[in-house]
Amino acid sequence: MLFLVRMDVYVPHDLPAEQANEIKAREKAYSQDLQRDGRWPHLWRVVGEYANYSIFDVASNDELHQLLQGLPLFPFMKISVTPLAKHPSAI
C-alpha cells in the first residue's frame, strides 16, 4: 500500500541543543534504515520549511502507524497521511 505523508516538525525552542541534535541523529538513522529496506522509497524536503513529503510503501495502515510512531521526532510532528491508488491513466 502506498501512502503520501507530510511531516511538519516543531522542535520546542527550549529543548537543549545537545538533546535536539541527538534526537535528529537517531531520526536520520531510523529513516535511512526504512529507506534502505524499501518501506520509505521517497523523501523530499519542503523548501523553506522544517517539513517533508514522503512516500511509504507498507503492507497496512497499522504498519505505517507503527513506523511513524517510531520516529524519534514523532512527539514534535504534525503528520498528515493520504492513501494512494494507481491512476487509470498512469503508464
Q: With respect to residue 90, please indicate whether it lies within any of the assigned structural domains.
A: no
Question: Are 59 and 8 contacting, i.e. CB atoms less than 8 angstroms apart?
Answer: no
89, part of any domain: no
Query: Could you tell me the pLDDT band of residue 2, with boundaries at 50, 70 and 90?
Result: very high
Confidence of residue 89 (pLDDT cuts 50, 70, 90): very high
Q: What mean pLDDT is reported for the chain?
A: 97
- CATH (domain of 16): 3.30.70.1060
Q: What is the pLDDT of residue 69?
A: 98
50 assigned to some structural domain = yes
What residues make up the domain containing 58? 2-84
Total of domains in the chain: 1
Query: In the chain, helix, strand, coil percent, each to 5?
Result: 35, 30, 35
pLDDT tens-digit readout, 26-57: 999 999 999 999 999 999 999 999 999 999 99
- The answer to whether residue 74 is domain-embedded is yes
The rounded distance, in Å, linking the Cα atoms of 75 and 68 is 10
Q: Is 91 inside any structural domain?
A: no
In the predicted model, what is the mean pLDDT of residues 54-77? 98
Query: Is residue 20 a part of any domain in this protein?
Result: yes
Confidence (pLDDT) at 85: 96
